[in-house]
A and B are shown apart, each in its own frame.
Chain A
Amino acid sequence: MTRAEHLFEILGELDEDLVEEAAQPAAVRRERHWGRWAALAACALLAAGLWNLSQLRMGSSGDAASGPGAEDAVSGNIAPAEPDPSEIAGVSDPGADSDASWPLTNGPEYDGPSAYLTQPAASAAPQDPAKEMGGMEDMGMGGETWPAIPYREEDVLPEDAGSSPELDELNRALEETIRTGGVPSELDVYKDGQTYGPPYPLISEEQARSLLPDGDRAQTDGAQASNGELRYAATSRGFLLPCWRFTLPDGSMRVIPAVEERYLRTGD
């Protein structure tokens, strides 16, 4: 019996409550669906509240003031439907919605969005963290919400410059993933050891190659070019992004983010 077989046998003796808990993983997904519906309901409430507010404002300043309801409002028979600002702030908290919708973002290791919302970027001057993050954007992908990743082209560091135990571990995991299952179609983005939003759709190697400057792209064509490699790369803001890395004949590297551009918040 090998040691791995022995370990597999030992794992058979795990606590029954752990095994029972894992017997019903669908519960995790149900939570996720519940979160989506809750987020939708919250959005609907917010929209209804804002619509009421705008109607009231129109009514008080425009022609509606002479309508049948205006007299009642002025005389106090109808209470103004002014929404409570704290309620609006609560239901529109993008971090909270995201955490409820994505079970992997719950818990101490995976609360990327909410954790990030409370932490200013390490290298940036103090500013509104939500603004820095770019806010949560509905990218029209089946109603899912992806956060835009703050990113500037000059942010992505060469792999050796951004070396860290976490980066090395991620790249080893990625190599193993590619070796055993091929190139994945989506990957997480990390910051400070935590996943940042749901896994992001990736662009293909060819798409990434087309984004290289013309001169560099020409050098990657032909027999001397090395193939692009999917790696995690560090940015100066502490993000670990999936990137396509191309090595030019002179040994220099070009790194193109593998995350679809629409999920990157470029510029300042």
Chain B
Amino acid sequence: MTDIQIIDLYWARSEEAIAATADTYGGYCTSIAWNILHSHEDTEECVSDTWHRAWRSMPPERPGNLRVWLGKITRNLALDRWRADRADKRGGGQMEALLSELEGCLPAGDSPEQQLEEREIAADISRWLKTLPCAPRTIFIRRYWYGDSIQQIAGMMGMGQGAVKSALFRARAGLKAHLEQEGIRV
């Protein structure tokens, strides 16, 4: 079933829409939630919440890219759930490691007036990512959008883990320099 057909089912308020979405994008959303939560129970609930959120959002929304749109919902829900569960030390350390790496991208400084809207910053980072060659850009997004482990990315890209880490390090250093140059404070 195509994305357009699935979206039409939502707009027609047909309950088949959720089954069709789960069939087509269940694995995709599950992997995103799992990378953040590392708990089968939480992952299952998070993906289920994604379908409900989609049901409530369509209509009026009509996503241009259904897969990425669902992935964003899953990612945000998983992040909220991870925050709620943090006291229980769930996540196997993966999320903590990932956030610790991202600390390296944060420019120093303390000027709240320079803070921009999240969407503006994201658009700026998107523009910067587009200046990178395809491989390091993909590695960066697989790590910090999809939450994949270094090992997974190395397997996916057919590279050694050292090369992936090296590419990530260079990308983080580049992003930090870019944010500092643009005067953006996160």
- Assess the A3–B106 pair: CB atoms within 8 A: yes
Instruction: Give the chain B neighbours of A21 by CB distance below 8 A.
Output: 134, 137-138, 141
- Assess the A13–B106 pair: CB atoms within 8 A: no
- Assess the B170–A15 pair: CB atoms within 8 A: no
Given A22-B138, A110-B133, A110-B135, do A10 and B186 touch, yes or no (CB 8 Å)? yes
Complex Cα–Cα for A181 and B151 (A): 10
Most A CB within 10 A of own CB, among B68, B144, B146, B170: B68
Q: Which of A6, A15, A18 contacts B186 (CB 8 A)?
A: A6
- Assess the B158–A176 pair: CB atoms within 8 A: no
- Assess the A12–B157 pair: CB atoms within 8 A: no
- Assess the A177–B166 pair: CB atoms within 8 A: yes
- Assess the A104–B145 pair: CB atoms within 8 A: no
Complex Cα–Cα for A16 and B130 (A): 12
- Is B150 part of the contact surface with A, judged by Cβ < 8 Å? yes
How many residue-residue contacts, CB under 8 A, span A and B?
A: 166
Report B40 CB to chain A, min CB distance, Å.
22
Of the 9-residue stretches A148-156, A185-193, A217-225, which lies at the interface with chain B? A185-193
Complex Cα–Cα for A28 and B165 (A): 18
- Is B60 part of the contact surface with A, judged by Cβ < 8 Å? no
- Assess the B141–A18 pair: CB atoms within 8 A: yes
Q: Which of A10, A18, A199 contacts B162 (CB 8 A)?
A: A199
Complex Cα–Cα for A223 and B103 (A): 38
- Is A268 part of the contact surface with B, judged by Cβ < 8 Å? no
- Assess the B123–A9 pair: CB atoms within 8 A: no
Q: Which of B65, B103, B157, B163 contacts A20 (CB 8 A)?
A: B65
Instruction: Give the chain A neighbours of B97 by CB distance below 8 A.
Output: 180
Report A143 CB to chain B, min CB distance, Å.
14
- Assess the B138–A188 pair: CB atoms within 8 A: no
Most A CB within 10 A of own CB, among B67, B102, B150: B102
Given A3-B186, A181-B161, A185-B162, do A14 and B129 touch, yes or no (CB 8 Å)? yes
Given A3-B186, A23-B68, do A28 and B157 touch, yes or no (CB 8 Å)? yes
Instruction: Give the chain B neighbours of A23 by CB distance below 8 A.
Output: 28, 67-68, 71, 146
Report B163 CB to chain A, min CB distance, Å.
5
Instruction: Give the chain B neighbours of A10 by CB distance below 8 A.
Output: 118, 121-122, 125, 186
Most A CB within 10 A of own CB, among B71, B83, B133: B133
Please list the residues of chain A having a beta carbon within 8 angstroms of any beta carbon in chain B.
1-23, 25-26, 28-29, 32, 103-104, 106-110, 169-170, 172-174, 176-177, 180-181, 184-188, 199
